[in-house]
Amino acid sequence: MIDIHSYWAYLVVILLVIAVVNAIIGLTQKKQFTDKDLRIGLFTLIVSHIQLLIGLTWYFMSPYFSMLTSNTAEVMKTKELRLLALEHPVMMILALVLITIGWSKHKKKTTDAAKFKTFIIFYGLGLVFILSKIPWTNWFN
């Protein structure tokens, strides 16, 4: 399960970067918001939510959740354990909330620029949250 979560994370990060860069290009070049832009945002949303489901499944089966519930004080004192048991899951959930809000808000916008700007803000913040709490040492080992 952890391998699926780890490999799927690469897909999430790549798609988020593509979605944000696509929105920046669309806004700066004053492009029309097309079906392609919609699909990039939607596919990013779907892949991100699948990652959340995989991550939550793994988390509740992981030793980090057991440690957090049985020895909270020790987990909170140890930087690496705190990252994996608390900070990473919380930030990933917040990132998904931002991405989901961005998807919902963009549908209510009437101009192309507003749609692109909404993706830049919400998907961009989601990307920043994700990048800030990825356990990088686990990714590159």
pLDDT tens track for 108-118? 999 999 999 99
Instruction: Return the residue matching tokens 């945002």.
Output: 41
Q: What is the pLDDT of residues 14-28, one digit of tens each?
A: 999 999 999 999 999
Confidence of residue 46 (pLDDT cuts 50, 70, 90): very high
Q: What is the pLDDT of residues 74-109, one digit of tens each?
A: 989 988 889 999 999 999 999 999 999 999 999 999
Start-to-end CA span in the chain (Å): 17
Confidence of residue 141 (pLDDT cuts 50, 70, 90): low
Q: Is the pLDDT of residue 68 over 60?
A: yes
- The CA distance from 37 to 48, in Å, is 17
Average pLDDT of the chain? Answer: 93
Per-residue model confidence (pLDDT) at position 139: 62
Range 52-55, long-range pairs (CB < 8 A, 24+ positions): 52/92, 52/93, 52/96, 54/1, 54/4, 54/5, 54/8, 55/5, 55/89, 55/92
Answer yes or no: are the C-beta atoms of 6 and 63 closer than 8 Å: no
Per-residue model confidence (pLDDT) at position 2: 73
The pTM of the full predicted model, rounded to 2 decimals, is 0.90
Comparing CA positions, the residue from 15, 6, 47, 49 lying closest to residue 119 is 15
